[in-house]
Amino acid sequence: MTDLERAKELLNEGNYTCVLCLDEMTFTSEANGIKPLNWWLRDGCRFEGFSAADRVIGRAAAFLYVLLGVKEVYADVLSDSALPVLDRFGIRWSYGKKVKNIMNRTGDDLCPMEKIALNYEEPEDAYDALKVKIAELMAAKNN
């Protein structure tokens, strides 16, 4: 079984939102959105050579996967805007369903992280902007 097959299997078997596998190493998360990817980046994690399976990969998540160093991703739902990012940085991709855009949780607008990511071409620049938006959302949630 390949790393990607194992990641997909774990994603489908558990309550995970994303799974990263390389040989015997496995990292999982049940957190929604780009939270787990942001946490791993914040903590200085690198996943060079890992395969990732995720529930949803839009442009924002694609940028973060580039920064994490994964070699391939599978998404249950993959957005059109994620594809150029993944292709440009040599990350192989596959999906269950492809969509034009990743929508917010209520389905009436674009995901706020996608709105940010659409303005950027470089992963580092996108990540800096995403961190600002995450901080704003966290501050609003705590008030």
| 39-51 as b/e: b if 16+ CB within 10 A | ebbeeeeebeebb
Q: In this model, does residue 143 exceed pLDDT 80?
A: no
pLDDT at 62: 98
Domain count, the chain: 1
pLDDT tens for 27-75 read 999 999 999 999 999 999 999 999 999 999 999 999 999 999 999 999 9
Banded pLDDT at 120 (limits 50, 70, 90): very high
Contact 70, 90 (CB under 8 A): no
pLDDT at 21: 98
Radius of gyration of the chain (CA): 14
Contact 120, 126 (CB under 8 A): yes
Q: What is the mean pLDDT of residues 135-140?
A: 83
Containing structural domain, residue 77: 3-142
Q: In this model, does residue 141 exceed pLDDT 80?
A: no
Banded pLDDT at 115 (limits 50, 70, 90): very high
Banded pLDDT at 114 (limits 50, 70, 90): very high
Give me the CATH number covering residue 95: 3.40.140.30
Containing 133, the helix (H) or strand (E) segment is helix 123-142
